A and B are shown apart, each in its own frame.
Chain A
């Protein structure tokens, strides 16, 4: 066939398959070093299933995405979950995008914690690293051009944070009555939140400015006469700034927020760098170093562990056929030398459809004022198998 005819337009777009269906089945086994503070078991198994359907129109101007997620836990009923991670219609024009439905939005640049990222609720029962998110109903309009990128969100429904239950691990000492959440707003979950983010790339510098007004994704806890806790969701306004600056093999990163709830306000910051070395020691290995300082103006009254802490981590990529990689990091409290936590995330490919994972967390403190005091028995190793089909 002469080459000249090879560019004739096909019936369907070959760049993007118009209908895609992807499924992932995951098995996780958490092995805790000790019994829980409330005598919970050492071995916790769970199963999760993620389905993704995607359809795109011939001219690529609009698409539908549907992605349900299911999780079942052997011990903890609060870890059972049926969620819609994504269910949206997206249409794209020249210099704009409009999305209607449920989706997940990530904002930010740092690795050790995600201060600026606020659109989605955290699936905290799934993973305490805060990177697992619940689907958020939204109307999203993006407007972009040489001036930068402006995202506008209207968020009509609020999702409550998932937390470990009575028989679960990595929980608060008192039982949280998760079906009795208290809201600052009379509209409760139907309060309409909104958010903006403007971002711009200036050569090697990326800057993002964001604003959120609505129901706090992070609950407070109200003690009851029965000795339980009720989640309390206040109304907040949050200004955020995120920036990264690329200098050769260095990426300097900063995220900072100012959050107020009407009565008081606080500031928090994560700042540091990621340094990447390619082909270390004459091998194919990539070695990366991460260092991030975490600050919270509330000090010991902070609701997150990073009030004056330093995260130091290393990332190793084998660059082998199995795509083996490892991240290890420690967060050291700078005011309390005996308090630190650490994490390990490692994974390798078994075959074209299967990835094996090893994750671990440890928590060390001798001080009851520390957030992680309640997790001091909860060091664990997690073995995971993900089957993709």
Chain B
């Protein structure tokens, strides 16, 4: 009787162990990979870049956008970014300022050059498209550990590169995704591929990150990012021509006065 009870308890323990322990291990390993990925990209301080966006519809017709951006690394919070649109020419001079945060909505402002007006934007929902592209605002925001729950799934060889496959579940209920799957290179912790799943858990988009270059002997940046939308057949290339680091940017380059001055 006692033995049977004990056996029963052991069976339950085995069941519990067998069922939950690997999930804990996966979550712990997922977070560990994400934390290492984040740690390897710390200390870049500030950067500036020129970027071309090529939007392609299902018929293959293309349209092009040109943007310039500066970014500032913020410790213990999301980064700051200022983006100026150069093309299409009807939106030239429009500028977008973003103070991203962890744990609360980002602060966002748009400068409208025709009215000389700085307009604050309600940023709660970041799932909308950026400039009509296949990139949502949330796809372009800085990577922060607080934004996701992580789960390590498996090792996989992607185009001959050993990767970790990590599942990321957004903690923000306003995210447009149920989850993303991220392929992280095991050597440098570069992200090589991301799959985005919509709220109904079906595959929505795939992002491929290519042409990685190393800067300051440490930081890897993909100069070509291609986002494919599987549901619409549309795609967007994000091509970065020129990245520079360490220009000595400060918070003053990322306030609404700087936004108003930006040209």
Q: List chain A positions with a Cβ less than 8 A from chain B.
A: 3-4, 6-7, 9-10, 14-16, 20, 22, 54, 56, 63, 90, 92, 94-95, 97, 103-106, 109, 131, 133, 142, 144, 149, 201, 206, 244, 246, 248-251, 274, 276-279, 284, 286, 319-323, 349, 352-355, 386, 388-389
Stretch of B87-95, B145-153, B179-187 lying at the A interface: B87-95
Given A4-B217, A248-B122, A251-B122, output 9 extra A-B contacts at Cβ < 8 Å. A3-B216, A14-B48, A16-B84, A16-B262, A106-B116, A249-B122, A284-B129, A321-B55, A322-B132
Tell me if B48 and A22 are in contact (CB < 8 A).
no
Given the complex, which residues of B lie within 8 Å of A4, measured CB to CB?
214-217
Among A3, A9, A105, A249, which residue has its beta carbon within 8 angstroms of that of B125?
Answer: A249
Report the separation of the CA atoms of residues A75 and B214 in the bound assembly, to the nearest whole angstrom: 62
B182 to chain A, nearest CB (A): 23
Tell me if B132 and A323 are in contact (CB < 8 A).
yes
> How many A-B contacts at CB < 8 Å in the complex?
122
Tell me if A15 and B122 are in contact (CB < 8 A).
no
Number of B residues with CB within 8 Å of any CB on chain A: 50
Tell me if B243 and A352 are in contact (CB < 8 A).
no
Given the complex, which residues of A lie within 8 Å of B52, measured CB to CB?
none
Tell me if B87 and A279 are in contact (CB < 8 A).
no
25 sampled A-B residue pairs with Cβ under 8 A: A4-B216, A6-B215, A7-B245, A16-B84, A22-B93, A54-B263, A56-B263, A95-B252, A104-B116, A106-B115, A246-B122, A249-B125, A277-B125, A278-B125, A286-B128, A319-B128, A321-B55, A321-B57, A323-B91, A323-B132, A352-B63, A352-B88, A352-B89, A355-B90, A388-B90
Tell me if A97 and B244 are in contact (CB < 8 A).
no
Q: Does B255 contact A (CB under 8 A)?
A: yes
Among B70, B92, B127, B246, which residue has its beta carbon within 8 angstroms of that of A388?
Answer: B92
Among B63, B87, B115, which residue has its beta carbon within 8 angstroms of that of A131?
Answer: B115
Report the separation of the CA atoms of residues A345 and B256 in the bound assembly, to the nearest whole angstrom: 27
Secondary structure class of chain B's binding surface, majority of residues: mixed
Among A97, A319, A323, which residue has its beta carbon within 8 angstroms of that of B88?
Answer: A323
Tell me if B245 and A279 are in contact (CB < 8 A).
no
- Chain A residue nearest to B50 in the complex (CB): A14
Given the complex, which residues of B lie within 8 Å of A133, measured CB to CB?
116
A262 to chain B, nearest CB (A): 31
Q: Does B247 contact A (CB under 8 A)?
A: yes
Known: A20-B263, A284-B129. A14 touches B88 (CB 8 A): no
Given the complex, which residues of A lie within 8 Å of B132, measured CB to CB?
319-323
Q: Does B120 contact A (CB under 8 A)?
A: yes
Report the separation of the CA atoms of residues A105 and B213 in the bound assembly, to the nearest whole angstrom: 43
- Chain B residue nearest to A86 in the complex (CB): B116
Report the separation of the CA atoms of residues A246 and B131 in the bound assembly, to the nearest whole angstrom: 23
Report the separation of the CA atoms of residues A133 and B244 in the bound assembly, to the nearest whole angstrom: 38
Report the separation of the CA atoms of residues A181 and B252 in the bound assembly, to the nearest whole angstrom: 44
Report the separation of the CA atoms of residues A7 and B46 in the bound assembly, to the nearest whole angstrom: 11
Given the complex, which residues of A lie within 8 Å of B242, measured CB to CB?
14
Residue of B57, B89, B90, B215 with most partner-chain A CB within 10 A? B90
Given the complex, which residues of B lie within 8 Å of A9, measured CB to CB?
244
